[in-house]
Chain A
């Protein structure tokens, strides 16, 4: 208690420093006056009286020192003094400090942003759901390696057969058409089991959630829960929304509650807006057999371990249960086992792919940050050496080793923490910028990354680690300083620093690797953009419709697409129209299907597969893909022609050895198609893909409930067709919304979005790294040159030309740079050979990048060297 009070007083006193200094001075003066008077009274002469008084008082300075030590807290005061000193020092080198802080900020900011993504996927995979990383994915798993999803009945069985799991939750994603006739809007929702919200531990923002009994029997409660965003945008956040009716797939559902703000469903990163009891499926999705058909596997299951249960236990129970189901229902469950996976390993969603990508990115970025540290250490070493004199004076005046180290540390820590703070600001900006949900394909996607306590701690510890790393070398260097040496040394050539050169070489090596990676990446991205897709996307408008909410059968689907196509073709501005199930260059890819083709004898086991797209006649005209042989599909209304298929060149080359394909039969499961045409190869899933075998089928033969309308404009801009297309669809079916309307070019751009992020990152990082390397080399060389002013002056005085001096300095430094470059080059070469291009080496990159790097580094050497060669020899010799 006493010591606490004393501590607080001292803390306070540290702040009120001047006042106390003054008080002490007054007290001393008063003391001496009184003593002098006393001495005078004793009969001493005035001068002697004062002298004795002073003598008796003792050493004023030593006492003041004690007094100060007692008054304040020396550690804190030293720290404050160091901090003040650090701020002054930093202000004395604004350029250098800016470079250091900015480069650190970028390094830390990028790392923090990436961590926030990793955190989102690994630790908080379900926004608004606490402890979501504890959820396990319960996935039926086929012998052939697929994850087909679970059926509703299977879910009901599993609920009772997995005692190791509590709260087994089922959900299925479904697109809904919400709204009144003619004004419907396509919105994505989930059909959920009754325990969905309670198992996730969610609290409604308003109203209530679906109750377990509301998802017991088919078609019971017509209730719906909406997302917070949906509530805000469609109901303006009005509390009266609860209890209102919402028209979904032409059924009235009662809105019972609103999900919490950040909740976006259980299938990251998809963003769902509506939740409906799974038992509503038959009512909402006319004719769906989701609830009674064990072959209808649309549900995803997640669950949490019961306390005390292990994952192995759950896995064993799941395997047993699935084996039992396979025995009980062989026609639906034969060959289907089960797997229990961590949430981030879910087969539905990009988490697994993202995590490995992010981990690599994080690694590269940490390497970059290390390079920044090395750079800063180099700069600090260079600066530290020029401060040897200052430090020698400090040591001579009695500063201990630790005071010197803490001085250097506080300067560097201040820089590092400034960098960290700025980095956090960058990360906050970066994560919010990335939160803005891009619409990819027809699905709204949202990554709710954020900077929170963990990421903040990460950023700050990165800052501290960086500070420690780049303080270590200069601090040790300065603390080891012998004051005598330091005071004298200024005129001697300093010992060459091996550490600095190694750092310089390593940095150049890292720069080399990252620059080559960046260049390769950019190249592949650019070349991808420039590749001819072998169809013509310009002038084509895309739009999608979906009949699945409407209980269609084959006949009605065929009839619908026939009518729609007819109407679309008759539009005056439309040159050609078609409908297809898949659009090339889609993020999700076009599915490949297995088949057998007449005249093909497989030697190895397994099945042939080819990309498969179902299209209407006119498709090849819209896409401007020429038919090399045969003809287009029969018209939709044609009822006599047999089922048809069109294949591409690669299909013929690969599966028919280039023989004539027309007239051969393709067998797909039970159906048989006759090949009527051969189309030119086109790009299907990616610009840089090798030629893919593909087969096209006709809507006439395989009607589908969904379709992507393709319209080629007659000359005007394709966007002008949007309203006509919408009106046409409304004419054909007033209830059906047209969604995902975009030009083909927009479609491609959007799907390149994910590829663009790393490309952009490399565009920024490449030059940054080059700049960092150049600055590092410049600093080291200019420091070394400055230290050798006298030597250079001597050389010049003895007749060396300035050219010779420049050359010599460059030669001395280029040695280590060339080593670094060579090592980096070999590393990049090996990585590229094995990981990136798989055997193809991009020569321009592997020659151009080292040339650029060497050019820039030579320049960084040359500038200080030339400055040194301009020294006036007389001035240089007098200088010290």
Chain B
């Protein structure tokens, strides 16, 4: 149960970083929308889980935040990727791609390949 959240949080963090990398500075809602659009139902409910992840990333120095004005001129917290975050994104992306490739190969493998 706990591990599942960890995995979810890990992927969520990576998604946040990628989103900010692609779209530039964005507020929490914007990030949530973007992830929802791309990942489908991961954030269809419990959008709130995004905020602890944002805080964690900020504590790690991967992203920074400051107050700004949202589209409808309300005060909103804008997050942007730091240089360190960009580096982190790159490293984790490679890691993910590698893992994904291995997993994909693993699942594709038939029984006779393994014997």
Contacts and interface: CB of A to CB of B under 8 A. Distances in A.
B49 interface: yes
Interface stretch (B15-23, B25-33, B94-102, B107-115): B25-33
A28 interface: yes
B11 interface: no
Interface string A59-79: 110110011011100000000
Given A2-B60, A5-B61, A6-B59, A31 B47 contact: yes
A5 B44 CA distance: 32
Given A58-B49, A60-B48, A5 B59 contact: yes
A59 B51 CA distance: 12
A37 interface: yes
Size range of the chain A interface in the assembly: 20 to 34
A35 interface: yes
A521 B28 CA distance: 79
Contacts of B61: 2, 5
Interface string B1-39: 000000000000000000000000001110011000000
B51 A63 contact: yes
A498 interface: no
A63 B48 contact: yes
B8 to A, nearest CB: 12
B75 interface: yes
A61 B49 CA distance: 11
Contacts of B27: 30-31, 34
Interface stretch (A19-27, A363-371, A857-865): A19-27
Given A9-B59, A67-B55, A58 B75 contact: no
A2 B59 CA distance: 9
Contact of B52 (A56, A57, A63): A63
A10 interface: yes
A30 B75 contact: yes
A5 B60 contact: yes
Contacts of A13: 59
Contacts of A33: 74
Contacts of A70: 52, 55-56, 59
Nearest to A26: B75
Contacts of B59: 5-6, 9-10, 13, 70-71
B45 interface: yes
Contacts of A9: 58-59
Contacts of B86: none
A35 B74 CA distance: 13
B74 A30 contact: yes
B77 A57 contact: no
A62 B44 CA distance: 17
Interface string B52-95: 10011011110000000011101111000000000000000000
Contacts of A67: 51-52, 55
B28 A30 contact: yes
A55 interface: yes
Contacts of B72: 34, 37
Contacts of B58: 9
A736 B82 CA distance: 89
Contacts of B55: 67, 70-71
B39 to A, nearest CB: 14
A31 B28 contact: yes
A58 B48 contact: yes
Nearest to B72: A37
A55 B48 CA distance: 10
A55 B51 contact: no
Contacts of A10: 59
B70 A63 contact: no
A60 to B, nearest CB: 6
A53 to B, nearest CB: 9
Most chain B beta-carbon neighbours within 10 Å: one of A10, A24, A34, A38: A34
A222 B74 CA distance: 93
Contacts of A57: 46-48
A114 B71 CA distance: 74
B57 to A, nearest CB: 10
B45 A55 contact: yes
Contacts of A5: 59-61
Given A26-B75, A26-B77, A71-B55, A66 B60 contact: no
Contacts of A27: 28, 51, 76-77
A30 B70 contact: yes
B60 A59 contact: no
B76 A58 contact: no
Nearest to B53: A70
A145 B92 CA distance: 83
A553 B52 CA distance: 98
B29 A31 contact: yes
Contacts of B46: 57-59, 63
Nearest to A8: B59
A278 B107 CA distance: 95
Interface of A: 2, 5-6, 9-10, 13, 23-24, 26-28, 30-31, 33-35, 37-38, 55-60, 62-63, 66-67, 69-71
Given A5-B59, A57-B46, A57-B48, 6 more contacts: A34-B71, A35-B29, A35-B47, A55-B45, A57-B47, A58-B47
Interface of B: 27-29, 32-33, 44-49, 51-52, 55-56, 58-61, 70-72, 74-77
6 contacts: A30-B70, A56-B44, A60-B48, A63-B51, A67-B51, A71-B55
